[in-house]
Amino acid sequence: MNNDLYEKLFEEGCIRKETLDRSREKRLNPLFSLHWELKTLLYLGVMLLSAGLGILIYKNIDTIGHQVILAAIAAISLGCFYYCYRHKLPFSREKLKSPGALFDYLLLLACLSMLSFLGYLQFQYGVFGNNYGMATFIPMVILFYVAYEFDHLAVLSMAITNLGIWVGISVNPMTLVSSVEIDDRNLSLTGLMLGLFLVGIAFLSERFHFKKHFHFTYLHFGIHLVFITLLYQYFSRFEQAASIIWAILLFAFAWYIYTEALRHKSFYFSLLSALYSYIALSAIVIRFALNGHDEGVFYLTCLYFIGSAIAFIRLLVYLNKKIKAL
């Protein structure tokens, strides 16, 4: 509110004293937006509702009956999907404005109820048999379809998470029902490929202008998967010379993410590239420190962490200023 304008209008006799007083009162008592606080509470309410239904079912399973429970969950899910379908905007490759807050939360509740329904159906009746991959593949496809059809980022995050579960189960499904040892190397390489796949989807969504606003979500999951996998590969081969190759790959990927962060003016992605690079660099320093038995090497390592922590903070300040100046 331009209060100087109100003062000038009052001096020229264009407005009354009461109007000027109201403008002064609004300046002294500005409105405070509760938008994000309310959205957080509403999302939390949907999650608590789903959790509460699960607890209620668990404690009363003997008196309610499986068929009644499945029918109730299906009714909630279908009812929410029906409401959202009736009120959704036509599909577009670009970002769509949400029809309303109620729409977002009912869609989230519909997806959570759908997952509960399929999970309960598999657990109680084993409709998918021992094909555990299919038990996660079907909800994954539904979630991706809902995310794109209704343009919902929260559902997209759920779909990507389900994709990770499906890929993990597809590697070795028998590990879920037996005591067979999990092949960590296979899982980590699968995680690396999945992370690179998500980064590629993020690039393609922006390149072909198809739901460009999904770019951040895909890149967020992909970056963490790739970095964590590369770090795991480095630490699992800590005593081997080949571990340096994984460190080099990590630094190369960090440089790519840094260039993407500058292109998108994103401090968050530049922070991730700097943070994971710092972890890898510190691991290399520790590796050489462990190979030396001199007391001086130990003190130099301690000085490294003190100095590098200060340098890292200064780097973050520099990156923040650089991105703001773009």
pLDDT digits (tens, 9 = 90+) for 222-240: 999 999 999 888 887 766 6
Task: Phi first, then psi: give them for residue 73, nearest 5 degrees.
Answer: -65, -45
- pLDDT above 90 coverage of the chain, percent: 34
Give the list of residues 6+ apart from residue 88 with CB closer than 8 angstroms, or none. 99, 103, 149, 150
In the block, which residue shows the tokens 């997952």?
A: 115
CA dist list (Å): 144 to 19, 24, 152, 157: 53, 51, 10, 9
DSSP state, 95? -
| CA atoms of 196 and 26, how far apart (whole Å) | 52
In the block, which residue shows the tokens 């401090």?
A: 267
| CA atoms of 143 and 134, how far apart (whole Å) | 14
The predicted-structure confidence for 248-294, as pLDDT tens digits, reads as follows 999 999 999 999 999 989 999 999 999 999 999 988 888 777 776 66
DSSP 235-257: HHTTTSTTHHHHHHHHHHHHHHH
Task: Select the more confidently predicted residue: 74 or 102.
Answer: 74
Asked if 84 and 22 count as a contact pair (C-beta separation under 8 A), the reply is no
Q: How confident is the model at residue 29 (pLDDT cuts 50, 70, 90)?
A: low
Task: Phi first, then psi: give them for residue 249, nearest 5 degrees.
Answer: -60, -40
Residue type, 112: L
The predicted-structure confidence for 65-89, as pLDDT tens digits, reads as follows 777 778 888 898 999 999 999 999 9
Decide if pLDDT at 60 tops 80. Answer: no
Instruction: Supply the pTM of this predicted model.
Output: 0.78
Q: Which two tokens stand for residue 300?
A: 């130099």
Decide if pLDDT at 130 tops 70. Answer: yes
| CA atoms of 246 and 233, how far apart (whole Å) | 7
* Least reliable range by pLDDT among 53-57, 81-85, 309-313: 53-57
